[in-house]
Amino acid sequence: MIIALGTDHAGFTYKELVKVHLTQAGHTVIDKGTFSPDPVDYPDFIRPAAQAVLDGEAERAIVFGGSGNGEAMTANRLKGIRCGLCWSEETARLTRQHNDANVLSMGARQIPEDLALRIVDIFLETPFEGGRHLARIAKLDL
């Protein structure tokens, strides 16, 4: 799978950790930055990661910040993006099963590294259930 990554300074360490994890698992990573822990504005890096999904450059994106909230809000401003903020294995599973999320947001200051990696794996492996959820998803972009 081709996965775009984007982060601000608060999520930089997690982005680097996830990049290695994804590459070792055989995925292709498109890194949209930031490229250091120096302070930056998260929309400058989150929007390009989400846009990569819309443009067909990536199949999914994963974005990071301190809480993940601003990053999810930024990604969700783009029509066609369904970004789920996840903090547990169950939220990762449900954002895929019920919401067909194409972008995952995580807060590096909120969850430990090992949980972040499990959330990434669940997000990538869990299929969308379809069915009753299809009509709800269609209403998001009205």
| Residues labelled catalytic | 71, 98
How would you write the chain as a 3-class SS string? CEEEEEECHHHHHHHHHHHHHHHHCCCEEEECCCCCCCCCCCHHHHHHHHHHHHCCCCCEEEEEECCCHHHHHHHHCCCCCCEEECCCHHHHHHHHHCCCCCEEEEECCCCCHHHHHHHHHHHHHCCCCCCCHHHHHHHHCC
